[in-house]
């Protein structure tokens, strides 16, 4: 599968907008004052602590299920004018920015970049694609309410989920495998 084939024309403008939101919120997260960043990092570590006690297969399964549920929620919630997908992208960018800054302060920029890289290569693109379909569905609903979209919502939902299982789900499987390996490697 090539990169261009991952994005169909329906979501190109949405993925661009959401990528800009992600980048801006990531950058904003890197400017959070250190004490606040440490508190947020401790909160993330406490949440991740529950995973550290799981065996390899259960850890992978739990990470995958959590990510699949979150991305499906982002798509389905998009019908509410696209608010939740946009918020999900912004909050993920901000949180990752905070974690990146904290990791930079502890171990330097290059090691922090390696820590964030697995998310940036697989999990974040999966989120951006899912959120783009959610935002697209939200715009479709708004256009239908205004009488400017003749297409029923069902075919749009079916299209979004076909693309989800063709593109997003495989990315989430790889992301869960990498995240599992990283967590197990830290033990």
Rounded mean pLDDT, 31-43: 81
Provide the pLDDT confidence category of residue 1 given band limits of 50, 70 and 90.
very low
From residue 94, give the alpha-carbon distance in Å to each of 4, 23, 51, 98, 136.
Answer: 27, 9, 22, 6, 22
Q: What angle do CA 103, 91, 32 make, to 5 degrees?
A: 45
3-state secondary structure 136-171: HHHHHHHHHHCCCCCCCHHHHHHHHHHHHHHHHHHH
| Model pTM score | 0.87
Q: 28 burial class (0-12, 13-18, 19+ CB within 10 angstroms)?
A: middle
Provide the pLDDT for residue 87: 94
Provide the mean pLDDT of the chain: 85
Distance of alpha carbon 96 from alpha carbon 101, whole angstroms: 9
For residue range 120-171, list pLDDT tens digits in order: 789 999 999 999 999 999 998 888 888 887 878 899 899 999 999 999 999 9
CA-atom Rg of the chain in angstroms: 17
Provide the pLDDT confidence category of residue 76 given band limits of 50, 70 and 90.
very high
Rounded mean pLDDT, 89-99: 92
């Amino acid at each position: 599968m090539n990169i261009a084939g991952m994005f169909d024309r329906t979501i190109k403008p949405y993925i661009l907008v959401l990528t800009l939101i992600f980048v801006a919120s990531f950058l904003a997260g890197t400017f959070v004052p250190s004490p606040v960043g440490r508190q947020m990092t401790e909160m993330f570590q406490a949440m991740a602590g529950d995973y550290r006690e799981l065996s390899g297969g259960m850890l992978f399964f739990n990470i995958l299920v959590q990510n699949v549920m979150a991305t499906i929620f982002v798509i389905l919630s998009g019908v509410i004018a696209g608010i939740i997908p946009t918020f999900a992208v912004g909050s993920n960018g901000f949180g990752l920015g905070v974690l990146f800054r904290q990791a930079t302060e502890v171990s330097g920029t290059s090691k922090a970049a390696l820590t964030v890289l697995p998310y940036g290569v697989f999990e974040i693109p999966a989120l951006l694609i899912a959120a783009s379909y959610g935002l697209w569905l939200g715009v479709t609903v708004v256009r239908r309410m205004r009488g400017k979209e003749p297409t029923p919502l069902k075919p749009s939902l079916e299209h979004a989920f076909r693309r989800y299982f063709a593109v997003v789900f495989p990315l989430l499987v790889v992301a869960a495998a990498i995240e599992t390996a990283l967590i197990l490697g830290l033990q």
